[in-house]
Amino acid sequence: MFKKYFLPIICLILLTKCAQQVAPTGGKKDIIPPNLIESDPPNRTLNFTGNKISLFFDEYVVIDNITQKLIITPEADNPYNFKQKGTSIELNFKKQFEDSTTYTLNFGDAIKDYAEKNPAKNLKLVFSTGSSLDSGRVYGTIKDMRSNKPIFDALVGLYPISDTLNIVKQKPFYFSRTDSSGHFSIENAQIKDYRLFAIDDKNRNLLYNAKDERIGFLPQPVNAGSDSLNYDVSLFLSDNTPFRVQRTIPKVNNYTVVFNKGIEKVDVNFMNKDTLPYIVENNQQLKFFNIQPHPDTTYIRMTVTDSLGTSAQDTIKVSFLQQRGKDRQKDPFTMTSIPAQNKPLSKIFDYELQLSKPVSFIDDKSIQLISDSLTKEPLSNFKWSWNKYHNQIKISAKSTAKDSIKWDIPKGSLISIEGDTLAKMLIKHKVLNEEDYGLLRGSVNGADTTHIIVELVDQDYKILQSLYTTPFTFRNIPQGNYFLRLIIDANNNRRWDTGLPSENRQPEKIYYFPDKLLIKANFEINDTNFDLSTVR
């Protein structure tokens, strides 16, 4: 009986396995994207009156998030549904398109081949509901203002000119995205004047998010006529969101107010004639210290200003947590230096000591600069000063050391407002050997020399040194590659100021020296000159 049914069962299993479909193995991977071979309507059709669009490809295709990736310009308030049928895609719009208008459908990477998901490249369809295609064009290049590098995939938009234009809420009428070289081209636009804005558009919602997206704009309208110029636009961060208290952190010893963005300046007014010591931490939070005696609750009126010069006022109630137990647990009292310990230091130097709490007492005679075993000078011999919050000391000093410079900071020489002190510290620096570093000289021509900042930055655009006069000389430069840039410091505040789109205010201009600079040890580079008469 068993033998009678055994052979048919085995055959059935083998036949079933043979019928299973599996992906073929071996062979070259398909890297060729699908090609559009026909469309209905054909590209550049005139007098189009339909509401259905069909695309036909040379291979099987699939649709990937087309509702997000298909960009129709000008934006059409015309919902659609879509169908995918083997090698074709069909879009059915709810209503007909507006009369006498040229439309561009840019599919991005929404349509891909079935096998390897290679997206169709540069898939775009243009048609007009009138008797001609709009021929307006605007093109140019988008770069980052701080680095001068081209920006890929930035959104460049043309907006109708209006007193109520708000790109935070209003999408562009026409737009394009930049390629890897930062180039953009907006085509088939109506020939008239527009406002041009470019943004990062990280979330690809066609709207400007001031908190974390860069922006650039042209201060004057542009015309999309055939004689339009090649526009260069630089993007910059301009966080013009209103100041607000993001959160508060009450503790027994202190009370911290955290803001939603960086603080440039803060003015504090104690409303009940009480005072509390405070500091600004990380440029984004305000910390008040619980130093008795004071009321249980302290009301404070503060005015906070950001880097754009925008101010906001707020009233806060400072209330510390109640102490539990006999001993109050204090936050550590710490100190760092600029330059940091072990960094080389020239014999004539500027120096900073940064402390984590305001200081109530300093013994500037016991804090000493040690140049060698016999040469020790107290801090009181040098020029030094406190900052507004009494937690930063700025020092200008000179040493006769041959090998190393040391700061000897005895225990008890600095006492915080909470009564704690630092442990004995010895901060060491090697004496900088000028033969291990390079030098760079140059000048700025054709500019108001009282309103400039010349910056030497490394390949990551981190500022190495800043100078404010011409001619300029950068000394003690570590060997490496650098960029040199010039800021036109219009308000002479010795910093770069960003722009404000809502007020049509451009950022301060930045110019780059055209060549990357290779600085070598014990080597000088001269005549790195800026000639602004050729770029303005």
pLDDT digits (tens, 9 = 90+) for 382-435: 999 999 999 999 999 999 998 999 999 999 999 999 999 999 999 999 999 989
Residue 8 lies in a domain: no
pLDDT score of 529 more than 90: yes
**Residue 282 CB-half CA count within 13 A:** 9
For residue 117, count other CB atoms closer than 10 A to its CB: 13
Mean pLDDT of 23-47: 82
pLDDT score of 525 more than 70: yes
**Predicted local confidence at residue 226, as pLDDT:** 63
Three-state SS for 495? Answer: coil
**CB 155 within 8 Å of CB 198:** yes
426 and 444 share one domain: no
466-474: Cβ within 8 A, 24+ apart: 466/494, 468/494, 470/442, 470/443, 470/444, 471/441, 471/442, 471/443, 472/441, 472/442, 472/443, 472/444, 473/439, 473/440, 473/441, 474/439, 474/440, 474/441
Mean pLDDT of 84-101: 94
pLDDT score of 302 more than 80: yes
Strand order in the sheet with 425-430: 376-378, 368-370, 404-409, 425-430
Confidence of residue 227 (pLDDT cuts 50, 70, 90): low
**Predicted local confidence at residue 216, as pLDDT:** 97
Task: Read off φ and ψ for residue 380, nearest 5 degrees.
Answer: -65, -20
424 and 446 share one domain: no
Give the Cα separation of 194 and 176 in Å (integer): 14
Give the pair of three-digit tokens for residue 78: 């015309």
**Predicted local confidence at residue 536, as pLDDT:** 52
**CB 379 within 8 Å of CB 372:** no
Residue 12 lies in a domain: no
Question: Domain residues for 97?
Answer: 36-128
**Predicted local confidence at residue 14, as pLDDT:** 43
Residue 475 lies in a domain: yes
140 and 229 share one domain: yes
pLDDT score of 16 more than 60: no
Give the pair of three-digit tokens for residue 39: 């469309």
Residue 10 lies in a domain: no
**Predicted local confidence at residue 19, as pLDDT:** 45
Residue 185: which CATH number? 2.60.40.10
Higher confidence at residue 342 or residue 449?
Answer: 342
Residue 378 lies in a domain: yes
For residue 343, count other CB atoms closer than 10 A to its CB: 12
Confidence of residue 447 (pLDDT cuts 50, 70, 90): low
Strand partners, 186: 138
User: Measured between alpha carbons, how far is residue 64 from residues 10, 108, 124, 153, 531 in Å?
Assistant: 44, 10, 16, 19, 51
Task: Read off φ and ψ for residue 287, nearest 5 degrees.
Answer: -115, 125
Mean pLDDT of 280-302: 90
Mean pLDDT of 223-235: 84
Place of tokens 């060729």: 32
Confidence of residue 295 (pLDDT cuts 50, 70, 90): confident
For residue 489, count other CB atoms closer than 10 A to its CB: 20
341 and 427 share one domain: yes
**Predicted local confidence at residue 143, as pLDDT:** 97
pLDDT score of 26 more than 70: no
Mean pLDDT of 187-203: 92
pLDDT score of 319 more than 80: yes
**Predicted local confidence at residue 535, as pLDDT:** 64
List the single range of 111-125, 139-153, 355-369, 475-489 with lowest mean pLDDT.
111-125
Mean pLDDT of 84-102: 94
Domain boundary among 406, 432, 458: 432
Higher confidence at residue 294 or residue 461?
Answer: 461
224 and 257 share one domain: no
105 and 172 share one domain: no
Give the pair of three-digit tokens for residue 187: 């085509």
449 and 391 share one domain: no
Q: Can you say how many angstroms the Cα of residue 520 is from the centroid of all Cα atoms in its chain?
A: 31
Residue 267 lies in a domain: yes
**CB 279 within 8 Å of CB 358:** yes
Give the Cα separation of 476 and 431 in Å (integer): 12
Give the Cα separation of 234 and 34 in Å (integer): 35
pLDDT score of 209 more than 60: yes
**CB 489 within 8 Å of CB 509:** no
pLDDT score of 103 more than 90: yes
Residue 488 lies in a domain: yes
Residue 477: which CATH number? 2.60.40.1120
Higher confidence at residue 98 or residue 12?
Answer: 98
Give the Cα separation of 438 and 533 in Å (integer): 29
Q: What is the pLDDT of residues 117-139, one digit of tens each?
A: 899 988 999 999 999 999 899 99
Residue 350: which CATH number? 2.60.40.1220
**Predicted local confidence at residue 138, as pLDDT:** 93
269 and 356 share one domain: no
221 and 307 share one domain: no
Residue-averaged pLDDT of the chain: 89
pLDDT score of 41 more than 70: yes
86 and 48 share one domain: yes
79 and 146 share one domain: no
Give the Cα separation of 79 and 94 in Å (integer): 6
Three-state SS for 173? Answer: coil
Give the Cα separation of 395 and 353 in Å (integer): 8
Q: Where are the beta strands (DSSP E) in 28-133?
A: 36-40, 52-57, 61-63, 71-73, 80-85, 88-93, 102-106, 111-113, 124-128
* Helix H or strand E encompassing 162: none
Give the Cα separation of 125 and 99 in Å (integer): 17
Structural domain tally of the chain?
5
Mean pLDDT of 302-326: 87
Using alpha carbons, select from 108, 112, 190, 113 the residue that is nearest to residue 155: 108
Q: Can you say how many angstroms the Cα of residue 475 is from the centroid of all Cα atoms in its chain?
A: 29
Q: Which residues are CB-neighbours of 131 under 8 A, at least 6 positions away?
A: 46, 47, 100
283-287: Cβ within 8 A, 24+ apart: 284/258, 284/259, 285/256, 285/257, 285/258, 285/259, 286/256, 286/257, 286/259, 287/254, 287/255, 287/256, 287/257
Domain boundary among 432, 451, 473: 432
For residue 490, count other CB atoms closer than 10 A to its CB: 13
294 and 313 share one domain: yes
Give the Cα separation of 44 and 46 in Å (integer): 7
Distance spanning both ends of the chain, measured CA to CA? 101
Confidence of residue 44 (pLDDT cuts 50, 70, 90): very high
Q: What is the pLDDT of residues 474-523, one digit of tens each?
A: 999 999 999 999 999 988 888 999 999 988 999 999 999 999 999 999 99
Domain boundary among 432, 448, 472: 432
Residue 263 lies in a domain: yes
For residue 304, count other CB atoms closer than 10 A to its CB: 24
pLDDT score of 7 more than 60: no
Give the Cα separation of 189 and 211 in Å (integer): 30
**CB 304 within 8 Å of CB 265:** yes
Type of residue found at 81: N
Confidence of residue 323 (pLDDT cuts 50, 70, 90): confident
